[in-house]
Structure 1
Amino acid sequence: MYPSFSPNHVQTQFLFLTGKGGVGKTSTACATAVALADSGKKVLLISTDPASNLQDVFGIELTSIPRAVPTVANLYVSNIDPEASAKAYRESVIGPYRDIFPEVVVATMEEQLSGACTVEIAAFDEFTGFLTNREIGNLYDHIIFDTAPTGHTLRLLQLPMAWNGFLEESTHGASCLGPLSGLVDKKELYSSAVAALSDLTKTTLILVTRPDVSAILEADRASKELKEIGIKNQMLIINGLLQHYNEEDEVSSAFYHRQRDALKQIPETLKETTMYSLPYVSYSLTGVENLRNLFKLYDEVPTTDVYMENQSMNLPGLKEVINDFSGNQTKLIFTMGKGGVGKTTVASAIAVGLVEKGHRVHLTTTDPAAHLDYQFQSDHLNQNLTISSINPKVEVEKYKAEVLAKSSENLDEAGFAYLKEDLESPCTEEIAVFQAFAEVVAKSENEIVVIDTAPTGHTLLLLDASESYSKEIERSTGNVPESAKKLLPQIRNPKETAVAIVTLAEATPVLEASRLQDDLRRASINPQWWVINQSLSATNTNDHILKGKAMAEKEWIQEVKDNKAEKCAIIPWLYEEKVGYDKLKDYIK
């Protein structure tokens, strides 16, 4: 269907990989680096991904200083810790203001500098030298960056207001504007870095996706966003494509056909990009030999023991989660997790399960209404279940219009442009959607509300900080609606609210979910349940490839069970898509 990706397709010195968490960016980057080094090229591989497991892949301790890989001639690896970089960056910005501004203002600044934007900018700051330093560049034939900056971050770096120092008068509300305040002295350096990214002869952007609709749509969004700022030398790798299936194995057949159906939904704009594929493999992509096997297109390694019995480690199913919520008379339930892990389906199944136990339930989601229409089809819904859908695009536009209207009189043209780009940050969508959720909850009485997709702890702390900041300086530009003010303490009350984190039994989804949990705990919210979704180890598949993958899941199931979750449940990979109210009841059988 698509030609297999080969390192021979790489023609530029700089390679940047981007894609949703869990699509295989790191394994693709590592395999590419090994193959190029094996061909005689001198290669530097740099990771700026907080969920990176480069040390496990190569079996050596890594730091920000490049280190030679003993088993691969010509390969050097560096693992930049963006969280540590962000911490140092944050202090360099805030330090001068600690004795000048009131404590509540400093707290607001600290929270502005605690989000994903700061981590990304700090990481960009770290690898700028690799892009612009000729002495470093002359040492390597290829420099591969595992994780590329987003178009939003790069657009911010190109705005003139980014170089005017900290905008002390920027009190328009919770935002991600603060991270750029430390860049005043680096304008020329950053301009050179952005120019190198846009140079077709120097840089290739590799979009990595899975044959999964949500991952494909994310790749399309990233592709468009980065093309807008001049990064047009792009290629797409469809990673994890099952090459064949066992007709006698229901899971294998359904897995194969679901992937093919997803590929039919690749947007036309993305089809314009050169596309390659890599196979779905049974083995773990750690260790140099396994990385080499990937480009030999082995989907299984003969020495892999795939005959071990599948195990779900005696974890309960979703039914136990629902019984817990019902028994504790929980009034507000959030399902949280990264995109593509199945939050909407799990939220829908929880809502149906609670209705079946006699509760009145309202289910609200940020997925387009059409998705829930599809999820429940034309079924006659139980009279105790009501559904609403919040359109993030509509809510974001409404929120942005309010902020811009309040701030327009106090800003010049450049400041207004900066504010408009600032409002493109991920925080804006979370805040806008949270306010819409709050209105739904405020109208609900005598029923359980199940909310699919919730804001991070960072966003909740920003809402708190912006409210305190507004009171401190006696302004109204950072107002938080009454419904949101009431909801903030409610979601911190474990007697009323429960959080279920949804993940997959894979490295990146688990590590990202763990960071989400840490973030929520900073905001005094403690998730009660982790739900491991779509687990092959909990199925009865006998397909060699899928059974090998099921074995690889066990490490991450054990990690969640022993070290991450207070309580943990597991849902098997289901060969039949559960559509309709009655089918959703299968989750609680």
Structure 2
Amino acid sequence: MNFLDNAPRILFFTGKGGVGKTSTACASAVYLAGRGEKVLLVSTDPASNIDEVLATPLSGEPTAIRDVENLFALNIDPRAAAAAYRARAIDPYRGILPDAVLENMEEQLSGACTLEIAAFDGFTELLVGNEKTADFDRIIFDTAPTGHTLRLLSLPKAWTGFVADSTTGSSCLGPLAALEKQTRMYAQAVETLADESQTRLVLVTRPEAASIKEASRTSEELAALGITNQHLVVNGQFVATDLTDPVAVALASRAETALSAMPENLRQLALTTIPLAPVLPVGLEGLRRFFAPQIDTSITQVAAIDSVQGDELEQFIEELAASGRGAVMTMGKGGVGKTSIAAMIARRLAEKGHPVTLTTTDPAAHVADAAGQVPAHLLRVERIDPVVEIERYRKEVLSEATELDDDGRALLEEDLRSPCIEEIAVFQAFARTVHQADDRITVIDTAPTGHTILLLDAAQSYHKEVLKRGDAHSDEVTGLLPRLRDPAFTRLLICTLPEATPVHEAADLQEDLKRAGITPAGWVVNQCLQPLAVTDPLLVARRAREAVYLREVADTHASRVFILPWQER
């Protein structure tokens, strides 16, 4: 385990959802404890199943892990932390501001940025040191904050000053006064992260293009903050053992292609490769075998009997064709294949003779190629350029911020680089596109989240609080929410993979949409081995494991499930 050699006291594991951060962090903790070190493992991942992985119920206090001497763990619940953060931010204003304004503030503080800040608020004390961590030789964090969060926390402006001077009175984090008392501790936390004698940041990725791209972006963001003590872990490296299995050969080839195209900034990092495991390392024995996984054929044979049958996506496309109008939206975390699914649906509709518009906000998506050769009068391919939309939005907001001093302006500029702002900036382009779906079928990759929709629908007029745009009350914008809530007009598909983290993140997304009054038309579980006759022993084992997550989707989350087989992308 090269990334554990000569490591400092603090290890941070970060990476996009589903790459194996939690498994790698837990396995590392078990390994180090086995060497005689007293280890504290801290998790803030909202999709984490760390209790199940370690076979020990956890709380917010260090808990001794059963059957592993020297290992302790605690689980900071980011949702509870976010609820406490919202209370600190909003309660002082209750009875002072109108209820409508308080409702707006509540929604401002319901986004991904607030969840991340609140979680960081929870483990910052552990990072800088307190009585909980003093006696430990090693502290392992799963997961680290993003570069955006760290930049936001490291800016020198007092949060109350920014709010008082801001033309909007809020940001993607809502009223920032709640952070004022924490700024000194946050600054110390950022310094600790940047000190290579104290901290090593482990970037976890998979040998897949989307994951590697995300790791590269994260690495650049952290390096720009002076956090250069990084180590890259490629988790899930697959080597085919049955060369007669075409799926195994194609999977190995795709991984090799992705790694050969690795960006230069990642090539300069120290690298550790971990083999693909046949099943998730649940339980202590699985964690002890994580760095050298083995196939348990008895479990494979039993589990393979339990498969889940999904609905046919072709039937869903027939229903769309029969309606002849409306919007189809594919939603999900990066890397689950929502762009290719959107392109496939648009192509099939056009092949049936229906006029279709296909649009995306992914600047790297080759939607025209994915859509295939379809007559132009039937399939119109468009692209919403988020870079253009964000820059236009930034200029308009900054032009109104004439009263801010240099520090306040720096904070506002950083706030305008947040993921929440990107969603809002492209919102009007989405609104225009959906408006066009009155006389044709429009397939959109991807839609705004439920948080963004509610933010725009919040009390006190989103014109001032969110959009800050002169055309905020256009028919396209004001008519969007009713269209999204109309299941006869908008069919929203949640896209995921048959793995723990993507499924749990998709479930969170569905709850987010329900808050906005939107019910998905179904779930698409992409890249499944279940429908395929694989023979490579490792893939046979993974095919069996998929049934657990497919059944969870079918029984717990989705009213309708579409299962798409793995295919080379």
TM-score (norm 1): 0.92
Tell me the distance in 2 between the aligned counterparts of 1:256 and 1:356. Answer: 33
Aligned: 1:59 with 2:55: yes
Structure 2 counterpart of 1:583: none
8 Å contact from structure 1 (residues 330, 498) kept in 2:
no
Check conservation: 2:498, 2:546, Cα contact below 8 A: yes
1:115 matched to which residue of 2?
Answer: 111
Aligned to 1:408: 401
- The equivalent position to 1:24 in structure 2, one of 20, 35, 38, is 20
Q: Secondary structure at the match of 2:513?
A: helix
Deviates more, 1:125-134 or 1:274-283: 125-134
Which amino acid in the other structure matches residue 74 of structure 1?
N
Q: Superposition pairs for residues 90-109 of structure 1, below 5 Å? A: 90-109=86-105
Q: C-alpha distance in 2, partners of 1:44/1:13?
A: 11
Size of the aligned set, in residue pairs, is 568
Residues 525-546 of structure 1: CA deviation (Å, up to 9, x unaligned): 1111101000012211111101
Give the Cα–Cα distance (whole angstroms) in 1 for the partners of residues 232 and 311 of structure 2: 39
Q: In 2, Cα distance between the equivalents of 1:476 and 1:238? A: 42
Deviation, 1:247, is 1.2
Aligned to 1:354: 349
Q: Separation in 1 of the partners of 2:317 and 2:169?
A: 37
Equivalent residue, structure 2, for 1:203:
199
Query: Any conservation in 2 of the 1:331–1:497 contact (CA below 8 Å)?
Result: yes
SS of residue matched to 1:409? coil
Q: Distance in 2 between matches of 1:390 and 1:350?
A: 19
Match of 1:480 among 472, 476, 495: 472
1:449 to 436, 442, 453: 442
The equivalent position to 1:241 in structure 2, one of 213, 218, 237, is: 237
Does the aligned pair in 1 maintain the 2:234–2:271 contact within 8 Å? yes
Match of 2:509? 516
Secondary structure of 2:426's partner? helix
Match of 1:439 in 2: 432
CA distance in 2, matches of 1:320, 1:311: 25
Which of 492, 507, 511 is matched with 1:499 structurally? 492
Equivalent-residue separation in structure 2 for 1:488 and 1:545 (angstroms): 46
Secondary structure (helix, strand or coil) at the match of 2:73 reads: strand
Residue number in structure 1 paired with 2:129: 133
CA drift of 1:273 comes to: 0.9
Pick from 375, 388, 392 the counterpart of residue 386 of structure 2.
Answer: 392
**Change in CA separation of 1:460 and 1:168 when aligned onto 2, cut-off 3 Å:** farther
Matches within 5 A, 1:185-224: 185-224=181-220
Q: Which residue of 1 aligns with 2:261?
A: 265
2:546 equivalent in structure 1:
553
- 5 Å-filtered alignment, 1:371-390, equals 371-376=366-371, 379-381=373-375, 383-390=377-384
Cα deviation, residue 161, structure 1: 2.4
Deviation, structure 1 residue 371:
1.3
User: Is the Cα contact below 8 Å between 1:343 and 1:452 reproduced in 2?
Assistant: yes
Q: Secondary structure at the match of 1:450?
A: strand
Aligned counterparts of 2:229 and 2:59: Cα–Cα separation in 1: 30
Q: Which residue of 2 aligns with 1:367?
A: 362
- C-alpha change, 1:10 and 1:349, in structure 2 (3 Å) is farther
Pairing of 1:170-181 with structure 2 (within 5 A): 170-172=166-168, 175-178=171-174, 180-181=176-177
Shift of 1:310: 6.5
Q: 2:150 aligns with which of 154, 159, 168?
A: 154
Identity of counterpart residues, as a percentage? 48
RMSD: 2.3
For residue 61 of structure 1, report the CA deviation from its aligned partner.
1.2
The amino acid of 1:210's aligned partner reads: R
Change (3 A) 1:135 1:84: closer
- Pick from 390, 408, 423: which aligns with 1:430? 423
User: Is 187-196 or 249-258 further displaced after alignment?
Assistant: 187-196
- Structure 1 distance, partners of 2:164, 2:391, is 25
> Equivalent residue of 1:161, what SS?
coil
Secondary structure in 1 matching 2:136: coil
Unaligned runs of at least 5 residues, structure 1: 578-589
- Opposite residue 508 of structure 2, the aligned amino acid is R
Farther off after superposition, 90-99 or 440-449: 440-449
Residue 117 to residue 479, structure 1, CA distance change in 2 (3 Å)? farther
C-alpha distance in 1, partners of 2:453/2:162? Answer: 23
Shift of the alpha carbon at 1:124? 1.0
Cα distance, 1:182 vs. partner? 0.8
Distance 1:520 1:43, change over 3 A: same
Indicate conservation of the 8 Å contact 1:176/1:427, yes or no. yes
SS at match of 1:63: coil
d(CA) in 2 for partners of 1:503, 1:190: 35
Structure 2 gaps, min length 5: none
Cα distance in 1 for partners of 2:252, 2:203 equals: 22
**Could you give the per-residue CA deviations for residues 468-517 of structure 1, whole angstroms, max 9, x where no partner exists?**
155799x9668625122222221111121110000001110011001101
Any idea what SS the aligned residue of 2:401 has?
A: helix
Q: 2:339 aligns with which of 338, 344, 363?
A: 344
Post-superposition shift, 1:284?
2.2
| Code of the aligned partner of 2:310 | L
Write the deviation string for residues 76-124 of structure 1: whole angstroms up to 9, x where unpaired: 0111100011001101110011211122221221111111111111111
CA distance in 2, matches of 1:180, 1:280: 43
> Structure 2 CA distance, aligned partners of 1:319 and 1:169?
55
Deviation at residue 328 of structure 1 after TM alignment: 4.8
CA contact (8 A) 1:7 1:36 kept: no
| Structure 1 contact 104–468 (Cα < 8 Å) conserved | no
Judge conservation of contact 1:172–1:477 (CA < 8 Å) in 2.
no
Give, as a single letter, the amino acid of the residue that structure 2 aligns with 1:208: V
CA gap 1:344/1:536 in 2 versus in 1, 3 angstroms: same
Task: Give the match for residue 587 of structure 1.
Answer: none
Aligned ranges 1:259-338 → 2 under 5 Å: 259-295=255-291, 297-301=292-296, 303-306=298-301, 309=304, 312-329=307-324, 331-338=326-333
CA distance in 2, matches of 1:47, 1:309: 32
Deviation of 1:162 after TM superposition, in Å, equals: 4.2
Aligned to 1:417: 410
Q: 2:43 aligns with which of 47, 55, 63?
A: 47
- Of 238-247 and 381-390, more deviation after overlay is shown by 381-390
SS in structure 2 of the partner of residue 537 of structure 1: coil
SS of equivalent to 1:46: strand
Return closer, same or farther for 1:375/1:167 CA change in 2, 3 Å cut-off.
same
CA offsets per residue over residues 390-444 of structure 1, 9 Å max, x none?
2212211121112112x23232222211111110111111111222222233345
